């Protein structure tokens, strides 16, 4: 199966993750997809194909040479972001893209405007897979899955390419920060691995955010509004005041590069109870710790004004910057860098303004930098992926394996 058909098949599965179910995988669609992938991996000839009760897949491509070559792995995640629906995805291939705006949905008048997303112009003349504007696409990270599976199929079909033992790992629930929760690093048994979970073609990343999640709960008192004078305490208004206390320019829409942020991801409320959900991000560990302290400080200020326990804070670290774990083994970055160059891709080494399973796995003893999967505008209706970017990513996987055996 070619990589395009494989990707289109993958996005037909509904695999949106959900942080509120307290299950692993968090949604049943992920397990349905995992069972399909197990059948596919077995059918193309991989060995030791296993699916555990938590929805994690591991498989092996055995070595085809007696040389002593390190065992390495390739990892991608099966879930899609809950930020937008991933149900009934209707992808469309815009062949030989002409550089103009793309009408995604005539009925709903949804147009992909190049003035808003000019990055797409670099793919003029290529084949672009887009949505119909009502869902996300799922290139994050079904493009990565398709690239890994197609690379394994290619290596099996080309035994003249000598390689060591290769491990494949597919995880659930990465989008809700739980992708590495039940990943068995000793069982995976690799010296290092790569996640195929980056963005545009050429991305190679070994720095990521330090990350925490915060929930701030506000307690109010409900009284009939006609008799509420000096009695009602409206938790939604207090929450609104808290939102205004967050530095307004330290948000995702005002930051780039190495700049961190506070991001309000969800708000739910009534007069009696309101909850704000934030994610806190910063590449620098000291600034990251200061951001967490600032959230607690603002909670304390609310309680000083409105009374003790009006606001309560739940704060949990999610992952840390993998740079400190990758820098001692920079040869694994050099290997990926050279592989990109050899297949005609210009490497773009940059920090991830996000996180991957590889960040946490790096701290669990599996150094795991991130390689591009090829998509743009993840988590939204204007997500797209060029077919040629997926093909290049697949060849990067093949070339890494080939060059490692040669070295």
Q: What is the pLDDT of residues 280-313, one digit of tens each?
A: 999 999 999 999 999 999 999 999 999 999 999 9
H-only helix segments in 54-124: none
**What whole-number percentage of the chain has pLDDT above 70?**
100
5 part of the active site? no
- The catalytic residue among 174, 175, 197, 200 is 174
Task: Give per-residue pLDDT as tens, 322-353.
Answer: 999 999 999 999 999 999 999 999 999 988 88
Q: How many residues does the chain have?
A: 407
Query: Given this model, what pLDDT does residue 35 score?
Result: 98
* pLDDT beyond 80 at 21: yes
Q: List the structure tokens of 257.
A: 């590069």
Q: Interhelix angle for 387-406 vs 331-342, to 10°?
A: 120
CB 365 within 8 A of CB 328: no
Average pLDDT for residues 134-139, to the nearest whole number?
98
pLDDT over threshold 80, residue 356? no
| Residue 192, pLDDT score | 98
| DSSP H stretches of helix in 262-376 | 285-306, 323-326, 331-342, 357-363
Burial label for 118, CB within 10 Å (0-12, 13-18, 19+), is exposed
pLDDT classification of 101: cutoffs 50, 70, 90: very high
Domain 210-319 in this protein, CATH class:
alpha beta
Confidence band of 49 (pLDDT split at 50, 70, 90): very high
76: its two tokens = 């991608």
CATH class of segment(s) 3-208+321-406: alpha beta
Of the candidates 40, 79, 153, 207, the residue annotated as catalytic is 79
Task: Mark 15-39 as b/e (b = at least 16 C-beta within 10 Å).
Answer: bbbbbeeeebbbbebbbebbeebbe
> Does the global pTM surpass 0.95?
no
pLDDT tens-place string over residues 214-251? 999 999 999 999 998 999 999 999 999 999 999 999 99
384-404 average pLDDT score: 98
pLDDT of residue 407: 84
All structural domains of the chain with their residue ranges: 3-208+321-406, 210-319
* Residue 132 annotated in active site: no
């Amino acid at each position: 199966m070619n990589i395009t058909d494989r990707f289109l098949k993958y996005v037909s599965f509904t695999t949106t993750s959900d942080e509120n179910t307290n299950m692993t995988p968090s949604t049943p669609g992920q397990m349905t997809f995992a069972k399909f992938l197990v059948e596919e991996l077995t059918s193309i000839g991989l060995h030791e194909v296993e699916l555990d009760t938590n929805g994690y897949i591991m498989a092996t491509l055995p070595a085809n040479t007696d040389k002593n070559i390190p065992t390495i792995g390739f990892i991608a995640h099966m879930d899609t972001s809950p930020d937008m629906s991933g149900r009934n995805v209707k992808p469309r291939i815009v062949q030989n893209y002409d550089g103009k705006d793309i009408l995604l949905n005539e009925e709903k008048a949804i147009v992909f405007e190049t003035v808003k997303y000019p990055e797409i112009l670099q793919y003029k003349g290529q084949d672009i897979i887009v949505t119909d504007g009502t869902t996300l696409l799922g290139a994050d990270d079904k493009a990565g899955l398709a690239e890994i599976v197609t690379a394994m199929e290619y290596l099996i079909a080309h035994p003249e390419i000598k390689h060591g033992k290769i491990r494949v790992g597919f995880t659930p629930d990465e989008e809700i920060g739980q992708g590495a929760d039940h990943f068995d690093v000793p069982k995976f048994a690799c010296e290092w691995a790569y996640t195929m979970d980056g963005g545009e073609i050429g991305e190679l990343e070994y720095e990521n955010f330090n990350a925490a999640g915060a929930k701030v709960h506000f307690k109010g008192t409900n009284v009939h509004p006609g008799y509420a004078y000096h009695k009602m305490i409206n938790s939604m208004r207090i929450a609104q005041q808290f939102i205004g206390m967050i530095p307004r320019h330290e948000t995702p829409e005002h930051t780039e590069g190495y700049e961190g942020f506070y991001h309000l991801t969800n708000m739910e409320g009534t007069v009696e109870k309101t909850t704000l959900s934030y994610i806190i991000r910063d590449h620098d560990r000291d600034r990251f710790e200061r951001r967490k302290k600032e959230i607690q400080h603002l909670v304390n200020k609310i309680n000083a004004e409105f009374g003790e326990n009006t606001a309560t804070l739940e704060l949990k670290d999610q992952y840390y910057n993998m740079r400190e774990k990758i820098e001692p083994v920079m040869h694994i970055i050099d290997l990926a860098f050279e592989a990109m160059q050899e297949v005609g891709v210009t490497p773009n080494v940059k920090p991830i303004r996000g996180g991957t399973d590889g960040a946490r796995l790096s701290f669990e003893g599996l150094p795991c930098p991130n390689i591009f999967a090829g998509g743009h505008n993840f988590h939204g209706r204007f997500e797209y992926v060029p077919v040629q970017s997926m093909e290049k990513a697949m060849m990067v996987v093949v070339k890494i394996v080939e060059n490692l055996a040669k070295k």
